[in-house]
């Protein structure tokens, strides 16, 4: 392993607090680091831990010692795959080491981590899956839970799980990072005999951001894409040059807006060479990399809420906010989860506006009015209050974590959601009438899949139809791969028709 020259960019606010952060981590098992966008906490905290002597790089050579003596990893979780890979690349660049050698990442379908790496970026789902084979997370001496304020189901479960295992892992250090919201709740959650976990606040690099309200009335001839095009014209005419970040609810809306914008910009000699780039979680690695490549001309990035906090798009001077996002909600009536387009909360809207105040004074155009903003909830509901709990219950049962009602969640789930979760698992044969895990349930818990999809695969194996069921299960586990561009919907339907099967959509997948 190489010897590292660890430096900290003076331009990042967290660098000035690194000694204080290191001292707090040395004195406490858990610390909470709060910092707004631009503080540098995501990239610098793993380096602070490395400089303290944590991580494999600092462990003595094994020399035939038992594997437990080889040293452990600094684990660093991100809510999304695209953030895990981009953050790993950034830290590796700052350490002047090849990606994977000292700092690498592991996400679904990708593993860029050498055997002797010290820092492992991953999604929170990957760390959660590792609890099945490493219940005490002995592979790690430090765990950083980044963007904890997002309060995803995985994050809330991990925070509860870590609280339970910390007494049995006194050597494990945990850093929870968050925007300023929820800081006190996290501190109380990890309270010890000494009191709540210490909170360290780090300022962000923020310039003033001007808010402009531009509500529009949708008609047959004027829609969201038209409003975005008008907002782009307003920002690029008479203002300083700079890139624009547009927030949209989903991939389809991004593709439609991109088509509309490219045609709109082509009519003006000043804008016809502008880049229009998409940014969403399912993007290919090559397309992700384009977002971070340097460029000379004007650029518009069309993004989902992946760009709200967990991913920093460089060079953004202006933001256009549609005010909506796709939010997963569990329906107690239909017993299924749905992705619904909803108005974002005030905190999400403010996070979006803050993306344009990092490099210079910014302007945020909101495509709704101030009254609409004031009527919105302050925060987004934690995912645990709007999700099916069947998968959580299954994992808890397999790890022998006791009753769901007694588990130290930050927010206690609703009783009827717990009941629905048990009912589904019972219907799948994963738990018996006493809600205890069956042999089939134990096997199901080892599959990192929705319990219903996992049950299909097990049944497919039993019926000698595994190959066919794997195709169907794969199709059910991802977004629809078919695309219907706005200006080619008829042609797309004609091409897709060859895969239709009147007997079943499943037959069509095959």
Closest CA to 247 of 184, 328, 194, 305: 305
* Helix, coil or strand: residue 225: helix
> Under CATH, what is the fold of the domain 388-479?
1.20.120
Q: Render pLDDT for 246-264 as a digit per residue (tens, 0 to 9).
A: 999 999 899 999 999 999 9
Closest CA to 261 of 251, 246, 250: 246
In degrees and rounded to multiples of 5, residue 339 shows phi and psi of -100, 110
pTM: 0.86
- The length of the chain is 510
- Measured CA to CA in angstroms, residue 9 lies from 6, 32, 310, 333 at distances of 10, 22, 20, 52
Q: Which two tokens stand for residue 113?
A: 């981590």
Per domain, the residue ranges of the chain are 13-202, 209-383, 388-479
* Helix, coil or strand: residue 273: coil
Cβ distance 77 to 93 under 8 Å?
no
Assess whether pLDDT exceeds 80 at residue 459.
Answer: yes
* pLDDT (0 to 100) of residue 68: 45
Lowest-confidence pick of 37-46, 319-328, 479-488: 479-488
Would you tell me the crossing angle of helices 466-477 and 451-462 to the nearest 10 degrees? 170
* Helix, coil or strand: residue 4: coil
Q: How many C-beta atoms surround the C-beta of residue 371 within 10 A?
A: 9
Residue 105, beta-bridge partner list: 112, 121
Residue 318, beta-bridge partner list: 244, 363
* pLDDT (0 to 100) of residue 476: 80
> Under CATH, what is the fold of the domain 13-202?
Rossmann fold (3.40.50)
Averaged pLDDT, 262-277: 89
- Measured CA to CA in angstroms, residue 126 lies from 77, 120, 193 at distances of 8, 11, 31
Q: Which two tokens stand for residue 23?
A: 């001292």
How does DSSP classify residue 145? E
266-275, 335-344, 369-378 — most confident range:
369-378
Cβ distance 191 to 159 under 8 Å?
no
Cβ distance 379 to 386 under 8 Å?
no
CATH of segment(s) 209-383: 3.40.50.300
Q: Which two tokens stand for residue 156?
A: 């809330």
* pLDDT (0 to 100) of residue 70: 52
How does DSSP classify residue 147? T
* pLDDT (0 to 100) of residue 479: 65
d(CA 105, CA 38): 22
Q: Which two tokens stand for residue 396?
A: 């808890």
Rg of the chain, C-alpha, whole Å? 24
177-181, 235-239, 458-462 — most confident range:
458-462
- At 394, which helix (H) or strand (E)? helix 390-398
Q: Render pLDDT for 217-240 as a digit per residue (tens, 0 to 9).
A: 999 999 999 999 999 999 998 788
d(CA 278, CA 309): 17
Dihedral over Cα of 81, 83, 86, 91: its sign: negative
For residues 504 and 319, the model is more confident at 319
Helix, strand, coil % (nearest 5) of the chain? Answer: 40, 20, 40
Q: Render pLDDT for 131-172 as a digit per residue (tens, 0 to 9).
A: 989 999 999 999 999 999 989 999 999 999 999 999 999 999
Helix and strand numbers (H, E) in the chain are: 18, 16
Q: How many C-beta atoms surround the C-beta of residue 10 within 10 A?
A: 8
d(CA 280, CA 254): 9
* Helix, coil or strand: residue 431: strand
d(CA 59, CA 75): 15
Q: Which two tokens stand for residue 182?
A: 């929820």
Are both 13-202 and 209-383 of the same fold? yes
């Amino acid at each position: 392993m190489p010897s590292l020259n660890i430096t900290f960019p003076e331009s990042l606010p967290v660098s000035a607090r690194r000694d204080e952060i290191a001292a707090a981590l040395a004195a406490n098992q858990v610390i909470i680091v709060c910092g707004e966008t631009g503080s540098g906490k995501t990239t610098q905290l793993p380096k602070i831990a490395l400089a303290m002597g944590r991580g494999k790089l600092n462990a003595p050579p094994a020399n035939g010692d038992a594997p437990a003596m080889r040293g452990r990893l600094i684990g660093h979780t991100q809510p999304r795959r695209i953030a895990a890979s981009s953050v790993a690349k950034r830290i590796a660049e700052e350490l002047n080491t090849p990606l994977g050698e000292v700092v690498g990442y592991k996400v679904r379908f990708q593993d860029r981590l050498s055997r002797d790496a010290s820092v492992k970026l991953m999604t929170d789902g990957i760390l959660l899956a590792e609890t099945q084979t490493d219940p005490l997370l002995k592979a790690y001496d430090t765990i950083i839970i980044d963007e904890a304020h997002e309060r995803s189901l995985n994050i809330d479960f991990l925070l509860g799980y870590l609280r339970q295992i910390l007494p049995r892992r006194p050597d494990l250090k945990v850093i929870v990072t968050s925007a300023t919201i929820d800081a006190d709740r996290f501190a109380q959650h990890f309270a010890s005999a000494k009191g709540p976990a210490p909170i360290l606040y780090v300022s962000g690099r923020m310039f003033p951001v001007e808010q402009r309200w531009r509500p529009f009335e949708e008609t047959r001839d004027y829609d969201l894409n038209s409003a975005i095009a008008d907002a782009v014209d307003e920002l690029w005419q008479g203002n300083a040059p700079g890139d624009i970040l547009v927030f949209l609810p989903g991939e389809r809306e991004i593709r439609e807006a991109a088509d509309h914008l490219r045609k709109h910009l082509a009519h003006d000699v000043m804008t016809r060479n502008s880049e229009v780039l998409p940014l969403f979680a399912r993007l290919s690695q090559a397309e992700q990399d384009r977002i971070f490549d340097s460029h000379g001309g004007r650029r518009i990035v069309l993004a989902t809420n992946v760009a709200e906090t967990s991913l920093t798009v460089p060079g953004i001077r202006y933001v256009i906010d549609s005010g909506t996002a796709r939010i997963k909600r569990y329906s107690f009536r239909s017993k299924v989860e749905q992705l619904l387009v909803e108005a974002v909360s005030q905190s999400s809207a403010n996070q979006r506006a803050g993306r344009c105040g990092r490099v210079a004074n910014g302007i945020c155009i909101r495509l709704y009015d101030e009254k609409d903003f004031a009527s919105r909830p302050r925060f987004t509901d934690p995912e645990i209050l709007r999700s099916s709990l069947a998968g959580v219950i299954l994992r808890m049962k397999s790890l022998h974590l006791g009753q769901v009602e007694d588990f130290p969640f930050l927010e206690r789930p609703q009783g009827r959601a717990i009941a629905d979760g048990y009912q589904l698992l019972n219907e799948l044969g994963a738990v018996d009438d006493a809600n205890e895990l069956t042999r089939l349930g134990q096997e199901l818990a080892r599959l990192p899949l929705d319990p219903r999809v996992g049950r299909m695969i097990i049944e497919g194996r039993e019926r000698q139809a595994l190959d066919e069921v794997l195709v169907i299960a794969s199709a059910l586990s991802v977004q629809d791969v078919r695309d219907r561009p706005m200006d080619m919907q008829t042609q797309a339907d004609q091409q897709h028709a060859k895969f239709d099967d009147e007997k079943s959509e499943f037959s069509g997948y095959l």
